[in-house]
């Protein structure tokens, strides 16, 4: 599929995106004391790796799809340390739980803001450099690149109204 | 955490597991014409890679958690070919969609069998040798190793009643 075809196919209603931009900023500010700079969103046309760790949250109900929060390893380590208030050994259950909980807070606040009757799944966290997360190709994926003092991460939103 | 501690913590009601065993057998028989041999289930105490491709389905509602169907690459290629009735290039959207759809059928049939009011998310498919899928550590994970003529795969069930 060409980029143009994907972009044409891949229009996402901004009203579905903005709640995630807001909840990301709020969660990072409140929980980690970090200011988030949102870079230019882009459509992800072809499955490609984003970063090293990804937390995946499924949506079902009136909003269906998946939201992935993907972190560079160094960013994840700094954020989990700030979140837990102490150093947490990477690649342990506690570390994954913390990453998952951050994503859960972002998705949970956005869900509330969306105002739709939807439920979100518990987070699944993927560890592994170069892993690729793919979603059903009938739901376009918008990547929101974010940067903070602790490093870079991305929120990848693939949801639609059911 | 020791294996013993995890196993004690990780008891999973067999009534939550059997629907997945049955739906896995049925979907593979019906859609792929494959007989599935179920090996000895085990508790996954420590996050560890299973296979090369994983399809993840989230549960929410009265059943919460995540079910992951994880395939060896060679197994996935054979199964997608059987499913599509033609060779599908690995690592394309069509390939991921087929893997996701198989997992969706397994989870969907099991959900029906569970009889609980739960909804399942769209599948997310992870591509990448050695990736590790972790779930919230308060939900135990039971691995059901499966083998067929097309090769090995595993159904990893981390769900509980809400």
Using the beta-carbon criterion (under 8 Å), do B47 and A91 form an inter-chain contact? yes
Using the beta-carbon criterion (under 8 Å), do A60 and B128 form an inter-chain contact? no
Asked whether A74 and A151 are in contact (CB, 8 A), the reply is yes
Distance CA B77, CA B79 (A): 6
Q: Is A148 exposed, middle or buried (0-12, 13-18, 19+ CB in 10 A)?
A: buried
Query: According to the model, what pLDDT value does residue B1 have?
Result: 38
pTM comes to: 0.83
When scoring A136, A138, A141 by the number of chain B Cβ atoms within 10 A, the one with the most, hence best to mutate, is A136
Query: According to the model, what pLDDT value does residue B4 have?
Result: 38
Cβ contacts (< 8 Å) between A56 and chain B: which residues? 56, 58, 124
**Residue entry with tokens 């019906």:** B30
Give backbone dihedrals phi and psi of B35, rounded to 5 degrees, phi first. -90, 130
Output DSSP code: residue B119: E
Helix/strand/coil for A128: coil
Query: According to the model, what pLDDT value does residue A14 have?
Result: 84
Distance CA A157, CA A24 (A): 12
Asked whether B41 and B144 are in contact (CB, 8 A), the reply is yes
Query: According to the model, what pLDDT value does residue A9 have?
Result: 54
Comparing alpha-carbon positions, the chain A residue that sits nearest to B126 is A133
State how far residue A66 is from chain B, nearest Cα, in angstroms: 7
- Count the neighbouring beta carbons within 10 Å of the beta carbon of residue B3: 12
Using the beta-carbon criterion (under 8 Å), do B58 and A137 form an inter-chain contact? no
Give backbone dihedrals phi and psi of B52, rounded to 5 degrees, phi first. -85, -35
Domain ranges of chain B: 3-161
Distance CA B15, CA B32 (A): 26
What was the ipTM of the complex prediction?
0.75
Query: According to the model, what pLDDT value does residue A142 have?
Result: 93
Asked whether B82 and B32 are in contact (CB, 8 A), the reply is yes
Tens of pLDDT, residue by residue, chain B (162 residues): 333 343 345 577 888 999 999 999 999 999 999 999 999 899 987 777 778 899 999 999 899 999 999 999 999 999 999 999 999 998 788 999 999 999 999 999 999 999 888 899 999 999 888 888 888 888 889 999 999 999 999 999 999 988
Helix (H) or strand (E) holding A20: helix A14-32
Cβ contacts (< 8 Å) between B66 and chain A: which residues? 121-122, 124
Helix/strand/coil for B149: coil
From the candidate CATH numbers 3.40.1550.10, 3.40.1440.60, 3.90.1300.10, 3.30.1300.10, the one assigned to the domain spanning A3-161: 3.40.1550.10
The residues, ordered by sequence, that sit 6+ positions from B128 with a Cβ below 8 Å of its Cβ are A49, A128, A130, A131, A132, B52
Query: According to the model, what pLDDT value does residue A99 have?
Result: 95
Query: According to the model, what pLDDT value does residue B80 have?
Result: 96
Helix/strand/coil for A33: coil
Axis crossing angle, helix A93-114 with helix A14-32, rounded to the nearest 10: 130
Q: Between B68, B121, B134, which is nearest A127 by CB? A: B134
Give backbone dihedrals phi and psi of B63, rounded to 5 degrees, phi first. -120, 125
Output DSSP code: residue B115: T
Query: According to the model, what pLDDT value does residue A96 have?
Result: 92
pLDDT digits (tens, 9 = 90+) for A57-71: 999 989 999 999 999
Tell me which residues of chain A have a pLDDT lower than 70: 1-10
When scoring A80, A94, A121 by the number of chain B Cβ atoms within 10 A, the one with the most, hence best to mutate, is A121
């Amino acid at each position: 599929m060409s980029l143009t075809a994907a972009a044409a196919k891949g229009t996402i209603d901004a009203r579905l995106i903005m709640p995630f931009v807001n909840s990301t900023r709020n969660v990072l500010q409140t929980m980690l004391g970090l200011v988030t700079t949102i870079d230019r969103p882009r459509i992800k046309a072809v499955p490609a790796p984003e970063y090293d760790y990804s937390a995946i949250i499924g949506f079902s109900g009136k909003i269906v799809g998946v939201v992935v929060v993907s972190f560079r390893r160094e960013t994840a380590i700094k954020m989990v340390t700030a979140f837990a208030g102490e150093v947490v050994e990477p690649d342990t259950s506690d570390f994954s739980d913390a990453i998952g909980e951050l994503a859960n807070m972002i998705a949970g606040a956005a869900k509330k803001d969306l105002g739709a009757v939807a439920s979100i799944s518990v987070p699944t966290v993927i560890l592994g450099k170069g892993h690729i997360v793919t979603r059903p190709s009938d739901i376009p994926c918008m990547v929101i690149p974010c940067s903070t003092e602790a490093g870079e991460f991305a929120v990848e939103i693939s949801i639609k109204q059911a």
